[in-house]
Structure 1
């Protein structure tokens, strides 16, 4: 008996990643393309899945990890919608409904960072932990929280990128977030780096003061997350974190912010296995999306 064919979508604010496979790490075909308008982008994803079904056979289930905020409450009238996103034209988009009406398969749905966290938990840097935090620092700041090996949901879903920060005394920057100004995303995401320093982070040298300030703000946000979520590990991904010099400063500042209150060697000894880079890297999101699809079938991999 052949394995069921899984389909996954990592619906990012910048790009969509779509894939099919027989397991989250047995991908047969994958495509990546820019996120444009809802109709154009989702239709392109659906056309990809139609082509895959002609090549590999019927798709059994679909998993979607989407940028947000999204509605994850199955009792809600807007379950499966992208809600109050600042991304032009995507607010109020029924992303689950679009694919449900066309594919008629079970659909698993979560945030893009929630899906990526699940992917890292099963196949990457979160292995061995049942409670951990996954953050991505790029054009925005998003986070997925895994508790008891499940993505954390509640009233909505964790929006750790919008924790309010106290600006450092020598920093007068007012932040880029249209909702909260000096929140973690407003002060530490890629656009904040570019606006503050006049050029993107990739063009700044390793010893530029931007990176110490970046570590300071990230650590301030992480201190709040350590105190509220108590993660066994923190995984830090996204384009901004491709600056290895951030990590030692980040561990040092986290220790300073917690000031001995969380008396664990992971923090007090600034251990390198506590704040880590993702193992799945740019595959974490699509791996998690395929896991969401797999879970819809009750499969255990």
Structure 2
């Protein structure tokens, strides 16, 4: 049996399941301070005999296995979790292989294995919610270099009629600063779900997301783009994204039919936790090969 943790800024989703992606039991634990949250996480998993655990975490995180801070949540704005040794805390409680990556990389892995990108060796998973993050699978492997991708913080062209300064504490008007949930709320004065009947809100959202997608497409050329997160539950954004993306690309590269190419998660809200199961499975495979 495998354990999986989708560690988010507001909640930890914990599950046990198997290599087929089947989830047997799942719980949700509020993200408060490490002492509270991790105690509840460990208590949940103590009920089971686990072979490995996979963690898909909010970040930034240290994914360099050669680094002395590998397994840490690093420069997060959630101050209680800054420089927190997440992998080490799990390993102390459970002496089993632990797979560790970002929550969006885990979701990309889940969608590639069992979701909207099943059967493809390439996909891009983007979450647009409290923040914006993305994970990429290329030739069947997660993209990783010096660190994990931070695609939510790319710079985009400001809409000529958008005077909002931006919400990102690091870059102000990067993609996340202009298009994540908190930016929508601050710009328009209400949470997104109260703005359903305001087409100008979602047209502007599509304007920024389409710019990001064009850059990702030209750099990574993914075979499927999957858009998840709370903001993307407002499905009218997809039409806006497709309109602006077609204008931006301007037939420079050939793309599939956009309504088939840019889609919602096939696994719904379970993309991240399913991908975390896959991280556990990969960690177990690597351990067996050593």
Pick the TM interval, shorter chain: over 0.9
Residue 298 of structure 1 aligns to a residue in which SS?
A: helix
Residue 187 of structure 1 aligns to a residue in which SS?
A: helix
Match 1:13 to one of 9, 14, 36: 9
Match 2:268 to one of 281, 287, 296: 281
Matches within 5 A, 1:116-131: 116-131=107-122
Report the equivalent of 1:249.
240
| TM-score in terms of structure 1 length | 0.92
Residue 109 of structure 2 aligns to a residue in which SS?
A: helix
Q: Please say which of residues 146-155 and 201-210 is displaced more in the overlay.
A: 201-210
Where in structure 2 are there 5+ consecutive unaligned residues? none
Report the equivalent of 1:83.
74
Distance 2:44 2:248 in 1: 47
Residues 1:98 and 2:89 are matched in the alignment: yes
Where in structure 1 are there 5+ consecutive unaligned residues? none
Distance 1:147 1:205 in 2: 35
| TM-score in terms of structure 2 length | 0.96
Residues 1:44 and 2:40 are matched in the alignment: yes
Structure 1 stretches of at least 4 aligned residues deviating more than 4 Å after TM superposition: none
Residue 28 of structure 2 aligns to a residue in which SS?
A: strand
Report the equivalent of 1:208.
199
Distance 1:271 1:113 in 2: 22
Equivalent residue pairs, number: 286
User: Is the 2:18–2:277 contact (alpha carbons within 8 Å) kept by the matching residues of 1?
Assistant: no
Report the equivalent of 2:145.
154
Residues 1:293 and 2:284 are matched in the alignment: no
Residue 89 of structure 1 aligns to a residue in which SS?
A: helix
Q: Deviations 1:236-260 (Å, cap 9, x if unpaired)? A: 0011011111111101111111222
Distance 1:212 1:99 in 2: 43
User: Is the 2:5–2:276 contact (alpha carbons within 8 Å) kept by the matching residues of 1?
Assistant: yes
Q: What's the RMSD between the two structures over aligned residues?
A: 1.3
Report the equivalent of 2:22.
26
